[in-house]
Every structure is written in C-alpha cells, then in structure tokens.
Amino acid sequence: MNVTIIGCGYVGLVTGACLADIGNDVCCYDVDANRIATLEQGGMPIHEPGLREIVARNRGAGRLTFTTQVRAAIEHGDIVFIAVGTPSGEDGSADLQYVLAAAQEIGRYMARFTVVVDKSTVPVGTAERVRATIAEQLALRGSDALFSVVSNPEFLKEGAAIDDFTRPERIVLGCDDDALGERARELMKRLYAPFNRNHERTLHMDVRSAEFTKYAANAMLATRISFMNELANLAERVGADIDAVRRGIGSDSRIGYHFLYAGCGYGGSCFPKDVHALMRTAHENEQELRILQAVSAVNAAQKQVLARKIVARFGDDLNGRSFGVWGLAFKPETDDMREAPSRVLIATLLEHGARVAAYDPVALEEAKRAFAADLDSKPEALSRLTLVDDQMEAAKGADALVVLTEWKAFKSPDFAGLARVLKHPIVFDGRNLYEPLALAEAGIEYHSIGRPGAS
Ligand code: NAD
C-alpha cells in the first residue's frame, strides 16, 4: 500500500520504517529540513534501538523515502498518518497547531479517496476538527475528493518502540460509523493484517473512544507511578521497604507487577503532557479530575525528592560541593530529554551553588540543548555543569554520585572502584538500582527511595 507519514519523530519514523519493512511503499514528510537531510544521508536524528537498521534496509530497497515536498508526500498516500507533536499549551491543553497544519496540507493536496489517520495523541473531538479543516481546504479548491478520518493512537514505548510497534499488545482503531468510515476500516485492517497474523489484536471502536483510550492509558500508568512514589515516602517514615511492598502487592493478579516502581518521578514527552491535557478536557467539560490533579502534584514533588535528600545530607549551601550524575534521559534506551527528572534535579543543585558533572550513554547532545535552554538566563549556573562522556569520570572527586536513569550500564558498577574515585563514598539512587547491602560492604553510604537506610 502507499502510505504517507507526516512528522518524522519517535512515532512517525518508527511507524514509517515498520510499515515499509512489511512491504508498503512509505513516504515520510517533515517540515524540519535538517531532519530530512539527515535521514536522506543515512543518518538518524533520534536514538531508538534497531531503528537505524530498519530505515537503512528499507531505504536501500526503495520502499522508504524522505521528503520536505508536502504536495508529493500527500499525493503519494492512500493512507496518510498524522504523527506530529502535540505539546502542552500554556493552559495545559494539547496544542493542536501542528496537527491542524498537517490537516490543512492534506486538504490542500489530496486528490483521491484518502484515509487520514490521527496517530498523534489528541484530545477527544480532534478528529472532527481535522475533518473540518480538510473539508474547508477541499471546498476552497472545489475538490470533491473523499476521505475519512480515523483515530489510531500509538502505544509504543521509546526504547522498545520497534518491538512495541511490530508486536503490539493492541491496535486501537476508531472509525466513523458510515460508508466512508467502513471503507477506511477495511483499508486499515489490510494495513495492519501482518501484525495480527497470530491473533487479532485490533480493537475496533468509535473515534471518540479511541482518542480517549490513549489518554486513559497514560493517565492510569502515571497514577500507578505517583501512587507508589507517595507510598515510598511514607515507607521511609514508618521504616518499611517499598520494594518488598511492591513485590507483595504485585503478586496480586488484579494489581500485577508492571509499573509499580518507586523513583524520582516520571518524565518524558507523554505522561506529563497527557495527564495535563486530560485534566484540561475534563475542566472544559465542567468536571475536575481530582485523582489526576494529585498524580501531577505528587510527581512534581517527587522530582525534587533527591534534591531534598541531598540538602538534608549536605546542608542548604552547596557552594564548593560537586556531584556526579549518571543518567540524563527520562528513561533508558532513549536520548529523549523532554520533562526528564534530571532537568529538575540538576537545576536545583546548581541553584544551591553546586558543581555537577553528568554522564549519559546516548543523551549528551540532547542534554546539552535542553540545559542551554533551561538555563538560558543563568549562564553562571550553566557554567558549573559539565557533560562528560565517561561514566567513572562523572563520579571522580564528587561529594556524592546521583543516579537518575536505570541504564543497564549503571546496574552493576564496580562499587569498590566507585568508592575510590568519589571524594565521599555516598550514592543517591533515584531508581532503587542497588542492593543496600552491596553498597554497605563497599563502604558506600546509600540513599534510595522508600527503602531502609534511606534518609
Ligand atoms: P516528535 O517531537 O519526536 O516529532 C514530531 C515531528 O513532527 C518533528 O520532527 C516535527 O518537525 C514534525 N512536524 C511538526 N509539524 C509538522 C507539520 N506540520 N508537517 C510535518 N511535520 C511536522 O514527536 P513524537 O514523540 O514522535 O510524538 C508525536 C505524537 O505521538 C505526539 O502526539 C505524542 O504524544 C504521540 N506519542 C508519542 C510517543 C512517544 O513515546 N514519543 C508514544 C505514543 C504517542
């Protein structure tokens, strides 16, 4: 099938590459000319395991092309995916300007029956706005080309995106209940058939429910994290071990083990913005989502939990102190720095006068950009942050090491070696990666989240 992808970010690129890999002819379009140039030259603008190989293979086979030519891109696709960003607007609602700009381009150039797929995470009712935008453009040029807008939200996880896309737990498909909607559903079923071979994973529903499902999923996941973080803070006060509690409740099949880890707060491009956008949708419909208000507030506080522990240990004035940081990306196997807890923690340490040396296996370039933007008005603070490309180098001479992302390479370090390079053998662990006993044996003072021995 001929497929067009609008937006070559984490979702668009993965979608395009995986659909090309099963034999479709995919054209990927982006307004970012640098991004397209990088892709055309065989480069990769994002870090996603396995993606580079799939893109190279399908470019080589001529099934995957990249362009900044919007007209050619739209004319190419029988199915056109909108996979552009939907960042938080000032009031917390999803900013739909990129989605609607894409819709406008589709209306401007589509020439035959087209299935328009909302792949971006968009609030309930967006498909109707996309439809109206396209219809307006078609009317302007007197075109009677037919189309149908489908909601097909994406559930991939950065860092495991290829696997999630090609072996999805479910494919949510929201189509209109009319003849065009039926035609669109059939085309989408054909497109996804190769992923449904072993068992049918597609959940068919109406468009609004599909749009809502994506927010409900992310809101539930964020809730589990904030729930565990709040209990972890209580566990510290009452002398319980949140990790033992996690195992204790996870064994209940109604609860399950997944997504129950206490830590230094959730980040990333999705949970924070989607929780806010859902709250905003509720507000606009005269309902307050009190649980999500708490989820969001608990998370904001949790991003400061390690800073609080550090200040409790070293005092409010961190002038002359230095800290090593392992992990900058919001989670392992990605270079994504959006809403990463590291941004909050490092900014707070710098604010208190500390020096920081930080290391991440793949996010250093993104981190450089993120901190330059965050600390734009504080050049002196920024000058006290060094990004280093060696794990042990970050810890060398530091008053303490702070672990913020659960990269594999951080899981089993040489504790004795670590104790030697640190000025003070102290570790603050925002991901509960280590066995307290192993660190005690290496003579390291250990602070983690919600576990005994934590400060
Ligand atoms: P991203 O920021 O990585 O990529 C968006 C891309 O769209 C950029 O390359 C940008 O240049 C391009 N773009 C913007 N406006 C455009 C336009 N008018 N025409 C063409 N290209 C345009 O975003 P992402 O992380 O891939 O997320 C995309 C959507 O998918 C969001 O709604 C997000 O919430 C959702 N989503 C993301 C993830 C994730 O893990 N990143 C998972 C599921 C869903």
What is the DSSP secondary structure assignment for residue 285, as one 8-state letter?
T
Exposed / middle / buried, residue 287 (Cβ in 10 Å: 0-12, 13-18, 19+): exposed
Residue 455, pLDDT above cutoff 80? no
CATH code 1.10.10.60 for 303-447: no
| 156 annotated among ligand-binding-site residues | yes
86 labelled ligand-binding = yes
Q: What is the residue-averaged pLDDT of the chain?
A: 97
The predicted-structure confidence for 91-139, as pLDDT tens digits, reads as follows 999 999 999 999 999 999 999 999 999 999 999 999 999 999 999 999 9
Question: Does the C-beta of 30 come closer than 6 Å to ligand 1?
Answer: yes
Q: What is the 3-state secondary structure (H, E, C) of 290-310?
A: HHHHHHHHHHHHHCCHHHHHH
Q: What percent of the chain is modeled with pLDDT above 70?
A: 99
Who's near 225: CB < 8 A, 6+ residues apart?
Answer: 259, 261, 263, 265, 266, 271, 299
- Predicted confidence at residue 198, as pLDDT, reads 84
Question: Is 217's pLDDT higher than 80?
Answer: yes
Identify which of 6, 439, 452, 62 has the alpha carbon closest to the alpha carbon of residue 239: 452
327 is in an annotated binding site: no
Token pair 């893109």 in the structure block, residue: 55
Counted residue by residue, the chain has a size of 455
Domains 215-299 and 303-447 alike in fold: no
By most ligand atoms within 8 Å of CB, the mutation choice from 154, 169, 334 for ligand 1 is 154
Q: List, for residues 54-93, the tens digit of each pLDDT value.
A: 999 999 999 999 999 999 999 999 999 999 999 999 999 9
For the stretch 307-317, pLDDT in tens is 999 999 999 99
List the one residue out of 299, 265, 222 whose CA is nearest residue 404: 265
Q: Looking at ligand 1, which residue's alpha carbon is closest to its atom 29?
A: 120
Distant-in-sequence, close-in-space partners of 269: CB < 8 Å, separation ≥ 6: 10, 85, 158, 336, 338, 339
Question: Taking the domains of the chain in order of start, what are their residue ranges?
Answer: 2-205, 215-299, 303-447
Domain 2-205 sits in CATH 3.40.50.720: yes
Cβ–Cβ under 8 Å, residues 106 and 116: yes
Reply yes or no on whether the pLDDT at 454 is more than 70.
Answer: no
In the DSSP assignment, the letter for residue 94 is: B
- Ligand 1 pocket member 8 (CB < 6 A): yes
**CATH number of this structure's domain 215-299:** 1.10.1040.10
CA–CA separation, 422 and 419 (whole Å) = 5
Angle at alpha carbon of residue 90, lines to 84 and 92, rounded to 5°:
75
Q: What is the Cα–Cα distance from 55 to 376, expressed in whole angstroms?
A: 35
Find out whether the beta carbon of 270 lies less than 6 Å from any atom of ligand 1.
yes
